[in-house]
Amino acid sequence: MQRFVLGFIVAILVLAAVGLAVVFTGAFNVAASVPHTGLETWVLSTTMRNSVRRHAEGIAVPASIGEDQVREGFAQYRQSCVYCHGGPGVDPADWAQGFTPEPPFLPDTVRRWRPQDLFWIVKNGIKMTAMPAFGGHLDDRQIWGVVGFIQRLPDMPAETYERLGREADQPAQPGGTGAPSSAATPGG
């Protein structure tokens, strides 16, 4: 029994020494250019999925998200998300492929999540990945608009995404007098 206890203590000390050696010698490679191993990927993605689901518990999903809100969500997506996540007919930026983990192509993955999960992810971001927290500068109503928009991505044709972009770039009142007349919109 005494030998067992002694062996147990030695094992713990060896593990602690290995852990400290990894921290202090720089043996672990933090390069983003080296992908996670299969085991690391499993641990990180399983932890992430379960953490999001647990923390999103109790978030009240609004009965409906207004069209104006969704349109604002699109504007936000085009401004802040598409470079990393891509969109219908739009590839992510080249540099976004340099992140580890690589940002997922949202039109393919968004259906895996409940609306409250999506809200939580956008608001809080995901630690130790490139996914930022947007809760610091978007209010809950704006975040639900983003959620409403990204939930439509899987069914959205590329033409629709492009048209939304064109409409957002155009002045709201084509017949208005105050708009700059040099707008480069042929065939008005």
Interaction residues for ligand HEC, span 49-108 (CB under 6 A): 76-77, 80-81, 84-85, 99, 101, 103-104
Residue 129 burial by Cβ neighbours in a 10 Å radius (0-12, 13-18, 19+): middle
Smaller CB separation from ligand HEC, 130 or 162: 130
Q: In the complex, what is the shortest distance from the CB of residue 167 to ligand HEC, in angstroms, rounded to a whole number?
A: 20
**In this structure, are residues 170 and 185 in contact, taking their beta carbons and an 8 Å threshold?**
yes
User: Could you give the CA distance from residue 54 to residue 57 in angstroms, rounded to a whole number?
Assistant: 5
Binding test (CB under 6 A) with ligand HEC, winner from 114, 129, 135, 156 = 129
Smaller CB separation from ligand HEC, 35 or 174: 35
DSSP code of residue 172: S
User: Could you give the CA distance from residue 153 to residue 88 in angstroms, rounded to a whole number?
Assistant: 7
**In this structure, are residues 56 and 75 in contact, taking their beta carbons and an 8 Å threshold?**
no
Binding residues for ligand HEC, rule CB under 6 A, total 24
Where do contacts with ligand HEC occur on this chain (CB under 6 A)?
A: 48, 76-77, 80-81, 84-85, 99, 101, 103-104, 109, 112, 118, 121-122, 126, 129-132, 134, 146, 150
